[in-house]
Chains A and B, each alone.
Chain A
Amino acid sequence: MSLTDTSGASRPLVADDSVIRPKRGVERLLAGNAWLVFAFLYLPILLLFVLSFNDNRVVGVWTEPSLRWYRAMITDSAVLGALRNSIVVAFISTVVSTILGTAAGLSLERFRYRGQRTYDGLLYLPVIIPDVTMAVMMLLFFVQAFDLLGAMLGVSATFGIGTISLSHIAFNISFVAVVVRARIVGLDPSLEEAAADLYASRWQAFRRVTLPLIAPGVAGGALLALTLSLDEVVITSFVAGPGSTTLPVYVFGLVRRGVTPLINAVSVLMLVGSMLLVLASLLLSRQRNTT
């Protein structure tokens, strides 16, 4: 796509030769650079895609095309279990973090309260904190929380889907809040005042005016949360219990046990999944521009 752009730019824009234009050599170099970037980005993807249809047991040796590994994937109970976990965790964490993140964004933009600035600063910590640190933090927190629960209520809790979901919610709130807040900033506060002036209660004003107007931001935040949750490896691997691994964590484990072409098929599945999500968010943002 950007290749055609580059060649388009190399054509003279004006007929007048006295106008100074960039040297041909520079333009060639830039065009070449674009090719190079493309190669770096998309050759591995192409390779992955092609090899996922390879019949051979050895990853790098091409024999003949087949759907063998896709068949293996959809009959492999471990893969399917991990996929199911991934979807459950992504769903729970997206719904919860979208609600909480939207509330956080609204409270920071629309209300004034004690401790707000501190809250504002701390809310974005998960965005900058290293994944490993976050993972250790969450692990420590859960161990302590389980001890406390056991000692005080006699409830025994353990690592699993619940802990993974909670961890994903923890980091997703920040991302949702950032995206939603950007949308609220562009919203005229007098719209909400107008709703209140026209006899709407707080909730009605939110439902009928605020929410429809920030909906593209909320949807964008939700898609981001969904993508982040589906891709997350480090934190998940720390707080996942036995038998509750997610798809990316499972793939990571497969690599350590030796690469089989099954990984290729699973990776293609994940790639297609994320691309669909990105496409959806692009469509949403386009709609955002027209409203």
Chain B
Amino acid sequence: MDDHQLAGTLDAGPLAAKTPVLDTVTTEVAAVSGIEVDAPLPAVRLQGVTKRFPGGRNHDPVVAVDDLDLDIRDGEFFSLLGPSGCGKTTTLRMIAGFEYPSAGSLQIFGQEVGLEPPNKRPVNTVFQSYALFPHMTVAKNIAFGLEMQQLPVDEIDRRVAEVIELVQLQGREGRRPKQLSGGQQQRVALARALVNHPKVLLLDEPLGALDLKLRQAMQLELKRIQEQVGITFVYVTHDQEEALTMSDRIAVMDGGRLLQVGDPEEIYDRPRTRFVADFIGDTNLLIAEVLDADTARLYDGTVVRVPTGAPAGSTVTLAVRPEKLGLWHADAERDLRLDALTGTIRRVTFLGNAINYEVVAGERAPVELVVRQGNTPGIEHFADGERVRVRWLPGSVAVLED
């Protein structure tokens, strides 16, 4: 240990002389000499955070957020995703300071802030209703936070102009919020928060009130702005598509608990629970009996290759996305690299960009599957009642924990 440190200091000598940034030097040196460096501070760290509201049925407190442990990294676009009432908004409101945790620790860049009022926290919020001050102009709305911090007037003017350019609201400075469209109000709300250079920006379903086209445009816009300013975004939404499109990482919540945290691919391709598999996208849930560590058997007798992670003879639930399945003629030659199941088409639904086939396999204990084929040129279309083989790559099936 001492030797390492000594070596580190010696090595740092010439380096330190070249570069004035000391932090970087120690990190580099530590990495070289193999000393474990503390991971960078998370932007937001929740440890055992619980929120109980008084006055449920029989005056029992209602638990809105239940023992939440969560680290949100610096600079990431982080989404809290879940159905209404899952505790995602309460979690956001606790980070903002509008609610205080009943138990647990809440840190922003290492600083314990759980009981600080909102005006003492280095975060800003974009509200679902935008909450623009109707009696102030766009410029006054945006300048509000800076005025409250008593910054010099010329700096306020400079920063307001800067952020107005960032959200492309030039020429609207003198308007009242009522005179703006929904999308423009949304931009003002964003500018009013960003102008304060918060360490973390909190967004509570900010696109919920916009129509589909505008929402999609704003999703890209938000992502662009986030990348441009490099601030940590914590984004609350119940829209799984929105979360998948924009986020670096997603936390799926239900009933006040955290079910899974991961990047969009992880959440979509490898859901850990039924709820996550079901809430995000469409999914086929299949019950299977474990044969050994690598195989399991479906009810109709089909053997599939999956890393079961459960003792032989136990029952597991498998999840596979409809678009990961392919359709083939039942009498075609088998491709041994793929797992397959033979069945009959029960229903065909045309979706425009894709076609959904409902396939039933097995007779005594039927297994039902939905297969989605992209409506691309050259793809074979199947008809109701046709015998087909459904096939998939073994890696596309996820084993659920419940």
A212 within 8 A of partner (CB): yes
Asked if A196 lies at the interface with its beta carbon under 8 angstroms from chain B, I say yes
Distance of B44 from chain A, by nearest CB (Å)? 15
Task: Give every chain A residue within 8 A of B193 (Cβ-Cβ).
Answer: 197-198
Residue on A nearest B127 in the bound complex, by CB? A190
A92 contacts across to B, CB distance below 8 A:
none
Whether B148 contacts A204 by the Cβ 8 Å rule is yes
A198-B148, A200-B148 known; A193-B119 Cβ under 8 A: no
**Given contacts A190-B127, A194-B125, A199 and B145 within 8 Å (CB-CB):** yes
Contact present for A196 and B119 (CB under 8 Å): yes
A196 touches B117 (CB 8 A): yes
**CB–CB A198/B124 < 8 A:** yes
Chain A contacts of B353 at CB under 8 A? Answer: none
Cβ of B135 and Cβ of A212 under 8 Å apart? yes
Which chain A residues in 199-245 approach chain B with CB under 8 Å? 199-201, 204, 208-209, 212-213
Number of interface residues of B (CB under 8 A): 24
Q: What per-residue 1/0 map shows which CB atoms of B78-95 lie under 8 Å from chain A? A: 000000000000000000
With A and B bound together, what is the CA distance between A188 and B129 in angstroms? 9
Contact A199:B148 (CB < 8 A) given known A213-B135, A291-B135: yes
Residues of B within 8 A of A213 (CB): 133-135
| A interface SS class | helix
For B345, list chain A residues within 8 Å (CB): none
Cβ contacts under 8 Å, A200 to chain B = 119, 144, 148
Residues of B within 8 A of A199 (CB): 119, 145, 148-149, 196
Decide if B134 touches A291 in the complex (CB within 8 Å).
yes
For the complex, give the distance between the alpha carbons of A44 and B292 in Å.
102
Assess whether B220 is interfacial by the CB under 8 Å rule.
no
Let me know if A193 and B134 touch, CB within 8 A: no
Q: Is A270 an interface residue (CB 8 A)?
A: no
Q: Which residues of B contact A198 (CB under 8 A)?
A: 119, 124, 144-145, 148, 192-193, 196
B133 touches A197 (CB 8 A): no
Q: Any chain B CB within 8 A of the CB of A195?
A: yes
- Is A191 an interface residue when CB atoms closer than 8 A count as contact? yes
Selected contact of B133 from candidates A196, A201, A204, A209, CB within 8 Å: A209
Q: Which residues of B contact A191 (CB under 8 A)?
A: 131, 133
- When distances are taken between beta carbons in the complex, the residues of chain A under 8 Å from B98 are 193, 196-197
Query: Nearest 9 pairs between A and B by C-beta?
Result: A198-B145, A194-B131, A199-B148, A190-B131, A196-B118, A199-B119, A197-B125, A200-B148, A190-B127
State the A residues within 8 Å of B (CB): 188, 190-191, 193-201, 204, 208-209, 212-213, 291
